[in-house]
């Protein structure tokens, strides 16, 4: 909902011709070999979002699914004080009826870059990609910060085989006096190196992930459904599957540089960087839906 941004930043036209950040992700995904886009939206945003998707015409195969607070398994309840849906992994679950093949999951307001979609598509399309073997694109935390304020990232632990051994959602990550810190559960500052791998929510899954997520969501609701602010994050679900020995996650390297909008003050930098990507030929002057 863009509470820190002050509006629906996913639909903010930051490109030279009013493109939004996910236009670039869709463009990069399609030329990397992905065949369909699934948008997860809230019912209250549907009219505004419908105007956006009409720009694609027949050039993008897409479906729209809704994410709402009340979409919980039968027999489960939650506090009436809750006002927001259940977070990123709950959003993925909403797409289960329309996804039956390996898929990537991304944030709509993050720019991941051409190479990130290429390495993801390559991995998802290989014969080695099987059930319970997932992937994610890893970025260095030092390249993902905002100059305006703290950010939230999935801080990762990776072994020598580039397999994810753990991921924890960390909050208020920022650079102070040259050192990067996050705030732990007790609001203590914990230092981490610049090259610490983090998840920017660019994940690759197979459809069995929906089944695992359903079970984990039930456990989550039993444990924290009474908390009006609890969120069922992707890193939480992935970490549980890794720790239980159910799934493995390969961390993919990319030459792409991530950037995005967390705060309103980040916007001018994003506008400038997107304009430069058009100028250097990474993107045509007008993206596919305008041609």
What's the pLDDT tens digit per position in 263-283?
A: 888 899 999 999 999 999 999
Q: Give domain status of residue 80, yes or no.
A: yes
Q: For position 161, what pLDDT does the model report? A: 94
What's the pLDDT tens digit per position in 208-218?
A: 999 999 999 99
Q: Give domain status of residue 203, yes or no.
A: yes
The domain total for the chain is 1
Q: Which helix (H) or strand (E) holds 116?
A: helix 114-124
Q: Give domain status of residue 173, yes or no.
A: yes
Q: Give domain status of residue 142, yes or no.
A: yes
For the beta carbon of residue 184, count every other beta carbon within 10 angstroms: 13
Return the ∠ at Cα 42 (arms to 271 and 223), rounded to 5°: 110
The DSSP symbol for 31 reads H
Please check whether residue 274 is in contact with residue 24, taking contact to mean a CB–CB distance below 8 angstroms: yes
* Residues 70-96, mean pLDDT to the nearest whole number: 93
Asked if pLDDT for residue 249 goes beyond 50, the answer is: yes
Q: For position 11, what pLDDT does the model report? A: 82
Asked if pLDDT for residue 6 goes beyond 70, the answer is: no
Q: Burial level of 139, CB count in 10 A (0-12/13-18/19+)?
A: buried
Who contacts 58 (Cβ-Cβ below 8 Å, separation ≥6)?
none
Domain ranges, residue 94: 10-284
Asked if pLDDT for residue 126 goes beyond 90, the answer is: no
CATH code for the domain of 154: 3.90.550.10
**Mode of pairing for the β-strands spanning 179-183 and 164-176:** antiparallel
Q: Give domain status of residue 2, yes or no.
A: no
Q: Give domain status of residue 177, yes or no.
A: yes
Q: Give domain status of residue 4, yes or no.
A: no
Q: Give domain status of residue 72, yes or no.
A: yes
């Amino acid at each position: 909902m863009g509470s820190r941004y002050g509006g629906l930043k996913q639909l903010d036209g930051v490109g030279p011709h009013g493109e939004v950040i996910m236009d670039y992700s869709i463009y990069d995904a399609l030329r990397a070999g992905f065949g369909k886009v699934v948008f997860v939206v809230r019912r209250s945003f549907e009219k505004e979002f419908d105007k956006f998707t009409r720009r694609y015409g027949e050039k993008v195969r897409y479906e729209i699914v809704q994410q709402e607070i009340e979409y919980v398994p039968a027999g489960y309840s939650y506090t009436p004080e809750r006002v927001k849906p259940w977070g990123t992994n709950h959003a993925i679950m909403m797409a289960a009826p329309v996804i039956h093949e390996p898929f990537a999951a991304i944030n709509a307001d993050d720019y991941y870059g051409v190479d990130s979609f290429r390495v993801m598509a390559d991995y998802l399309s290989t014969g080695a990609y099987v059930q319970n073997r997932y992937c994610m694109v890893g970025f260095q935390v030092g390249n993902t910060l905002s100059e305006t304020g703290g950010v939230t990232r999935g801080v990762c632990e990776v072994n020598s085989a580039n397999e994810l051994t753990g991921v924890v959602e960390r909050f208020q990550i920022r650079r102070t006096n040259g050192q990067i810190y996050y705030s732990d559960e007790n609001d203590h500052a914990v230092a981490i190196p610049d090259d610490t791998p983090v998840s920017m929510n660019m994940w690759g899954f197979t459809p069995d992930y929906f089944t695992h997520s359903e079970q984990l969501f039930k456990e989550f609701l039993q444990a924290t459904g009474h908390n009006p602010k609890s969120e069922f994050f992707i890193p939480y679900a992935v970490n549980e599957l890794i720790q239980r020995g159910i799934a493995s996650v390969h961390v993919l390297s990319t030459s792409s540089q991530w950037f995005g909008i967390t705060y309103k003050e980040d916007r001018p930098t994003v506008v400038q960087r997107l304009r430069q990507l058009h100028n250097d030929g990474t993107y045509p002057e007008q993206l596919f839906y305008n041609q």
